[in-house]
Every structure is written in structure tokens, then in C-alpha cells.
Amino acid sequence: MHPDDLLEELKANATARKAKNLDIIHAVCREQYERGSRDFSVATISKISTERGGPVKSTIHNRTGDDFKGLIQAWANHTGGVTRKVRKAPENPLFGVLDKIPDPAVRAVMGAVLAENKKLRGQVNLLKANTHVVIDRTTKQTDVPQGSIQTLPASSGLTREEQDALRHAISDRLIQDEGWSQDDHGRILNARGRAIYRIGYVNAIRKMLGDDVSQAK
């Protein structure tokens, strides 16, 4: 249905106040079309509408705002526009996947996996650039002449944000907020005592970050 026809149909059974708000939404959408914009998202339309005394974002999203959403959708269909803002792709598209994982436990694990993957890629690139460098992740001293081995921290290649994300994944605050607990073996348990992460999980992340493993409970 053409937006103009839908507007008249919606106003036929609307109160005077709602009819005025429908006119404002209709005018905003028309201006979006005339300026060549394809953005008919509720966020954008409601922002302009609010400046003109029309419906705010929460009003449009409420159950009583179906007529407003329907009118916006009609304009989007009529002009080939979109009703959702297109999110800017993150620097690494893989990390954008984390935003779509609702479970914080799974999100933390995937974040650690992606961070480890980036760290390993950094080490590989370092080896390519310096083929004579030996990466030694052990703490045991050997008789190898000093300067012939370069020891890299486990967190090499991770950004500060990625390191902070890993620390958050094993932080007391997150564990407490989720109703989890940590045992002496580095496992994370849920409220029923079932292991969410296997033995050594906390210690592994601490070693990866170069933190003191003795801090683990």
C-alpha cells in the first residue's frame, strides 16, 4: 500500500493527537525519501520526529506504536529503504560475532579463542620477519648463550582491550554476577556445581596474560 493511502486509513480511526503524530512521522519519512536517504530506522525517524514534537523512540517501539511502525515500514517498502541501521563492521569481523552470543560464558570462551588466534598470528608474523628468533614459553633456564633466545610474553600480539576482556572473563565480579564459583583446580562452576570450564581454565588465561597464577583460587 502506498504510504499516502496508509496514512489516510490510519488517521480515519485515530484520535486527534495520534493523527497529528502520524502526520509528523509521514512528513519525516517523506523528507528522508526526498533527500535520497534509505535510512528508515526507528532510531533515525524518531530522532527527527522528537525534534518536531512527534513520537519518541520508546513510543514507536511500544505495542501502541504499531501504526507508526507500519507507516515507517510502508515508506521503506515504497522507496527501497531499510528499517535497521547498518552497523559498521569491526576491525576484525570475527569479533563482531561476539555481540550476537547471548550467553556470557560462551561469549567469554569465544573471546579467549579469538584472542589466542590473533596472538598466534602475531607470533607467526614475527617469526616470518625474524627467522632467527626462537620463541620460548618455558620458565626453565638453560645453558644457551645469552641473547640467542628471545622469550615472548604469552600475551604477545594481544591488544590492551583484548587482554582486559580475558581478565574480565575470569574476574571475581563476572563470576559473582553470574552466580558461578571457582574451585581449587581452576574450574568455573555454575550455581548447581556443574563445571562450565574445565580444569586449568583460569590458570591458562592467567598464564596467557602473564599474570601471577598463584592468584587463582
Alpha-carbon dihedral of residues 154, 157, 162, 164, nearest 10 degrees? 50
pLDDT in tens, 92-108: 566 666 667 777 777 77
- Whether 153 shows a pLDDT value over 80: the answer reads no
- Whether 85 shows a pLDDT value over 80: the answer reads no
Q: Three-class SS of residue 105?
A: helix
pLDDT in tens, 44-66: 999 999 999 999 999 999 988 99
Using left for φ > 0, alpha for ψ between -120 and 50, and beta otherwise, residue 146 falls in: beta
pLDDT in tens, 28-46: 999 999 989 999 999 999 9
The residue extents of the domains of the chain are: 3-79, 93-215
Q: Three-class SS of residue 176?
A: helix
Cβ neighbours around 138 below 10 Å, total: 7
Region 198-204: mean pLDDT is 78
Q: How confident is the model at residue 164 (pLDDT cuts 50, 70, 90)?
A: confident
The CA–CA distances, whole Å, from 134 to 94, 119, 144, 167, 193 equal 29, 16, 12, 27, 42
pTM reported for the whole predicted model: 0.41
Q: What is the pLDDT of residue 215?
A: 54
